[in-house]
Structures are given as C-alpha cells and as structure tokens.
Amino acid sequence: MTSHTSGTSGTPSTSLTSHHVFTPHNILVTGGCGFLGSNFVRWVVNAHPDVHITVLDALTYAGNVNNLAGLPADRVQFVYGNICDVDMLRHVVPGHDAIINYAAESHNDNSIADPDPFLRSNVIGTFWLLQAALAHHIRFHQISTDEVYGDLALDDPHFFTEQTAYRPSSPYSASKASADMLVRAWYRTYGLPVTISNCSNNYGPYQHVEKFIPRQITNILTGRTPQLYGSGANVRDWIHTEDDARAVWAILTHGRLGQTYLIGAHCEKSNKDVLRTILELMGKDPDDYEHIADRPGHDRRYAIDPSKLVTELGWHPLHTDFRHGLEETIRWYETHRSWWEPIKDAVEERYAQQGR
C-alpha cells in the first residue's frame, strides 16, 4: 500500500451523515503550538481557506510558537495564555464558534515523576474551558487518547472501541480520563454541544524530542545510543498526524453531539520493531540499541477499532505505509535540526535524572 497526501478529503460524504452539518468559520485551538495542535492548524489552513484560527497556548516546554511559522497572519492569530486563566478566557473565547482543546500535559514519564501539572492542565484547565464554552454556547471538541482505556494483553485479539471501559494506568491517562468525564457531564447536564476523540499514537513532523520516535531519531543524529524500555514488546497503534487532523475535523463538523469517536489506522507495531526500522532506515545496525529499565506500569498494547468513525463519517487514513511515513519523518528531523537541537540536551538530561 502506498502513502498519499491529504487535501480536503477529511470532509465526509453527505450520504453518510444525515444529521446537521456544523460549518465553523472562527475556531479557537488551545494547545495549538504543540505537536498535534500545530499539525491540525496547518491542515485546516491548507484544506479550509475560509476558516480563521485563534491559537491559544501557554508555551510550556512542549509548545513552540515556531510550529506556526509561515502560516498567514490574516488566517492564524496567536494568543499567549493559560487555559486555567479565567479572566483571559473571558476575553478570548467570545466570537468563536468552536473550541478544539489540544492543550494538555502529555508525557507519561513526566506524569509519573510529577503528576501535579497534569491535574492542573488536563483536568482543571478543561473545566474552565467548558465553563467558557457554556457561557457562550460554543461547540467544544475534546482531544483525548486511547490511553484512557488502559491496555490490552499482547495476545488479545480485541481492540478498544467506544464501549470499552476506562482503566487508566498512569497519572497522565487518569487526568485525560477525568477530562473526558467532565466533557460528557457538561453535555448531559448543561446541554453543551460537545464531541470527543480518542486517538492512537501519532507520529510526524513537529513532535517534541521527548517522545519515542523523535527521541530515537535524534539520538542517532547526535551520536547517542537509542534506548528501549524493557523488552520492547509493548505494542502501539500508530497513525500519521495528518490523518488524525483530518479525523478531528470530520468529527467536529459531522460528528453526532455527545458522541465519542476513536481514531486509529490499524497500524500496530511493537516498540522494538519501530526502533529497529528507524535504525535500518538511518543506515545503522538494527540491533544497535540498549535496553533500559521499563517504565512503571507500562501499558502492554494499544489497539483501536475506528469502525464508528469510518462508517458514520466516511473517514479513512491516507498515510497507510508506516515505513514510508517513518522515512518522511526521519527526513524532517534531518532537515530541521535548528528546530530540535536547542532542546535535545535538556531532554536527555531530564531522562537521566529520572533514571531513563
């Protein structure tokens, strides 16, 4: 199967969507300077030229305003601010017809070392955004994760679905599960128009070098030995970030209110296989890595069934060749060293302090 690029094909067929179609013109993207948020913003700019985007971001360590570089100033406005700042939200939120909440602390290792920022951003921050959306009856889309479901056994033939019970394993996934519950409560109790998406592991450009794939790529580029938690048998379900952006837009504009949609591309790979492929693509010995102590409570397997998204909204992943997607991602980090080199040493120092 080949990899394709997406244009406006995130818009589902009208034959599959008999309910009301939502057409936003002025959206607020929180956390829009992060990996997922900035890729979503870039996709919307390219695919929907009639949409104006306000990016609200606190520019914590994982947020980088340079992720928005080159986007048209008349289409994308950046506002510096924290989603827990109630007074700021009172000024920023009015005038928008949708909020897409990408703002979150998201790194598992960091949540294990210090859960406090995760509770403040992912739970309290979501609460204040919901309150702001309710005050103006603004459409609200919550970006969540498959990690809220816990994990599956490596030999389990089943997948996560929208009916899977929440069983979060880490402070990070517990905070995201809490946020999802708040969103559902605001829909049922207050009638706020909401949707939720729970996505599998994303990869692609602009991902912070603390994450697995860019960390290993940049380790190799800086002469460091790549590292693998435990045996590396843990399985993740991978999706290209552009396909995720297309899915979020389809859910926002065509999804049924109060519903959750799972986003996945049926691309399960063990961490070991991903690392060996990266090494091979970068001209290294596939066995040139070292095993390190496993993460506490490390989830074994994530696997998503996106049937509801496919059947209801007509979405399909376009980047279906994972190896080709990795090649493109490697090239991006090779050609954007100025983007990640200034933060690489600090990331590795933090890992070393955590014993990883």
Catalytically active residues are 146-147, 172
Helix (H/G/I), strand (E/B), else coil: 198? strand
Q: Which amino acid is at 25?
A: H
Contact by Cβ (8 Å): 263, 239: yes
| Per-residue exposure over 72-108, b if at least 16 CB sit within 10 Å of its own CB, e if not | eeeebebeebbbbeeebbeebbeebbbbbbbbbbbbb
Sign (positive or negative) of CA dihedral 261, 263, 266, 270: negative
What span, in angstroms and rounded, lies between the C-alpha atoms of 114 and 108? 10
Contact by Cβ (8 Å): 224, 272: no
SS (H, E, C) 134-192: HHHCCEEEEEEEHHHHCCCCCCCCCCECCCCCCCCCCHHHHHHHHHHHHHHHHHHHHCC
What phi and psi, each to the nearest 5 degrees, are found at residue 140? -130, 125
Rg of the chain (C-alpha set): 19
CA atoms within 13 Å, Cβ hemisphere of 289: 27
Sign (positive or negative) of CA dihedral 281, 287, 292, 297: positive
Sign (positive or negative) of CA dihedral 308, 309, 313, 316: negative
What phi and psi, each to the nearest 5 degrees, are found at residue 145? -140, 155
